[in-house]
A and B are shown apart, each in its own frame.
Chain A
Amino acid sequence: MSAVLETSALAKRYGRRWALSDCTLKIPPGHVVGLVGPNGAGKTTLLHLAVGLLAPTSGAITVLGDRPAKGATQLGRVGFVAQETPLYAGLSVADHLHFGAWLNPGWDERLAQRRIEQIALDPRQRVRELSGGQRAQLALTLAVAKRPELLILDEPLASLDPLARREFLQNLMESVAEHQLSVVLSSHLVSDLERVCEYLIVLVSSHVQVAGEIEGLLASHHRLTGPRRDLGTLPASQEIIEATHTDRQSTLIVRTDQPILDPSWTVEQIGLEDLVLAYMGRAASIRGSRPAFLRVQP
């Protein structure tokens, strides 16, 4: 099976500003992929390139082995929910389902009806009367009922309260379990993604900082604490992602596939949030727009 999303040196420029640069990715099918990064990092640009709403300035992108939005077939294979879940405020839930059925050859009416029942939406209700959570659920239902192979969701959780978030993710994961969908969803919060994603892309200031299966990422990143030392003395196999020092202690986050043998380090596993923050901090300090990522030493 071809990659769900494959890019090579993909870049997008708006005027003089690069929204995405040198983006090379290859995401295998059957994953729920989290795209994280601060606001303005280029997440929406990457997703819009993937659905064909934008054309690249340079580089190449294929989605499910084909050019984004190449034709009716390709459009039917990809479901997309844009940020702020755009729906027609004056139309009812039922109207939206009719719309979905007209516009999508692969529309699964039974699935759509079942989902609407499950999330307890009244078909006669107009969208402007729905809560944010209900709107998000309706948009998800429309996207899932067209039976895509890949579902792309841009910040689907940003405007939802914690309960609505949980319900949305439950609905999404049920769809994944039922239809073996691949999903790419973006968020600026790692905690949203921890439960549901198995593959992670960290995007900061238009560059991909790290991408890979979360389990592998967590296994290859470690926090080392020990007496203060010169970083030049570390083995070449250990890539330093984050380093902080006090007058006597050094604390590092390193990436390595080798075991850490130096007995002077206390080695700890790190969580996903710390991993993402370390890469964000590194990107910010390289760019020089912010001081090096600092963390208060206990």
Chain B
Amino acid sequence: MIEFHLDTRSGVAPYLQVVHQVRQALRLGLLREGDQLPTVKDVVARLAINPNTVLKAYRELEHDGLAAARPGIGTFVTKTLSDASLAAHAGLRRELLRWFANARRAGLDDESIEALFRDCLRSASGEEVA
């Protein structure tokens, strides 16, 4: 079983924070197929958040095929993420490291690299939405 936490200053919607934390736990192997997620009541009682927030997060995980609800019992993990995603990371990581090296060679300092990275990330996710 994992425990959720909430960062109200992050600007990330609370339900997304729960989704991210489940995905992260899956990636790190803290959660595996068959594990039960905390019940809505437990999460609500611990974090003092709206139950609909938790329900929404769990629905999103179900929609992504990562979890499934068993009525009257709880929500369970239906997929293990760690192996597949780590393998996929390796390639992306190499490319990103190469890109960072290029950026340094072009004379960018860490702060400029970070600004550029964040700006691109934002416009890329903006395009996805539009």
Interface residues of A in 169-206 (CB under 8 A from B): 169-170, 172-174, 176-178, 191, 194-198
Q: Is residue A271 contacting chain B, with contact meaning CB distance below 8 A?
A: yes
In the bound complex, residues from chain A placing their C-beta under 8 Å from that of B46 are 170
CB-defined contacts of B6 to chain A, threshold 8 Å: 195
Q: Is the CB of A197 within 8 A of B50?
A: yes
User: At the interface, yes or no: B130 with Cβ under 8 Å from chain A?
Assistant: yes
Q: A198-B53, A259-B130 are in contact. Are A174 and B44 (CB under 8 A)?
A: yes
Option from B8, B13, B44, B49 in Cβ contact (under 8 Å) with A215: B13
Q: Does B65 contact A (CB under 8 A)?
A: no
Instruction: Collect the chain A residues with CB atoms within 8 Å of residue B47's CB.
Output: 170, 195
Given the known interface contacts A191-B8, A195-B8, the answer about A166 and B48 at a Cβ–Cβ threshold of 8 Å is yes
Task: Say whether, besides A196-B50, A259-B130, A174 and B8 are in contact (CB < 8 Å).
Answer: no
Tell whether A173 pairs with B11 under 8 Å between CB atoms, given A178-B41, A195-B6: no
Instruction: Assess the B50–A198 pair: CB atoms within 8 A.
Output: yes
A32 contacts partner chain B, Cβ-Cβ < 8 Å: yes
A277 interface residue per 8 A CB criterion: no
A170 neighbours in B (Cβ, 8 Å):
44-48
Can you list, as one digit per residue, whether each of A20-55 has a CB less than 8 Å from chain B (1) or not (0)?
Answer: 000000000011100000000000000000000000
Asked if A285 is at the interface of the complex by the 8 Å CB criterion, the answer is: no
Residue of B nearest to A170 (CB): B48
Given A178-B41, A259-B130, verify A196-B11 contact (CB < 8 Å).
no
Instruction: Describe B's contact surface by its main secondary structure.
Output: helix
Say if the beta carbon of A218 comes within 8 Å of chain B. Answer: yes
Identity of the chain B residue whose Cβ is nearest the Cβ of A269 in the assembled complex: B11
Complex interface residues of chain B between 1 and 24 (CB less than 8 A to chain A): 6, 8, 11, 13-14
* 8 Å CB interface, A235-279 against B: 259, 267, 269, 271
Residues of chain B from 36 to 60 with CB closer than 8 A to chain A in the complex: 40-41, 44-53
Docked Cα-Cα span, A218 to B13, in Å, equals: 9
- Pick from B13, B48, B130: contact of A196, CB under 8 Å: B48
Q: Give chain A nearest CB distance to B42 CB in angstroms.
A: 10
**A176 and B41 form a contact (CB under 8 A):** no
B69 shortest CB reach to chain A, Å: 15
Chain A residues, Cβ within 8 Å of B8: 191, 194-195
Residues of A within 8 A of B49 (CB): 173, 195-196
CA distance A48 to B117 in the complex (A): 52
Q: Which B residue sits closest to A268, measured CB to CB?
A: B122
Which residues of B sit under 8 angstroms from A178, Cβ to Cβ?
A: 41
Q: How far is the CA of A195 from the CA of B7 in the complex (A)?
A: 10
Query: Could you say which of B45, B126, B130 contacts A173, with CB atoms under 8 Å apart?
Result: B45
Verify A177–B13 contact, CB threshold 8 A.
Answer: no
Residue ID in chain B nearest A32 by CB atoms: B50
Residues of B within 8 A of A218 (CB): 13
Whether B48 and A173, one on each chain, are in contact in the complex, defined by CB atoms closer than 8 angstroms, is yes
What would be 25 A-B contacts, judged by CB atoms less than 8 Å apart? A30-B52, A31-B52, A32-B52, A170-B46, A170-B47, A170-B48, A172-B48, A173-B44, A173-B48, A173-B50, A173-B51, A174-B44, A176-B44, A176-B51, A177-B40, A194-B8, A195-B6, A195-B8, A195-B47, A195-B49, A196-B48, A196-B49, A198-B50, A218-B13, A271-B11
A residues bordering B, Cβ < 8 Å? 30-32, 166, 169-170, 172-174, 176-178, 191, 194-198, 215, 218, 259, 267, 269, 271
Ranked 6 nearest A-B pairs via Cβ: A169-B48, A177-B51, A170-B48, A173-B44, A177-B44, A195-B49
9 further A-B contacts with Cβ under 8 Å, apart from A173-B45, A176-B50, are A31-B52, A173-B44, A173-B50, A174-B41, A174-B44, A177-B40, A177-B44, A178-B41, A267-B126
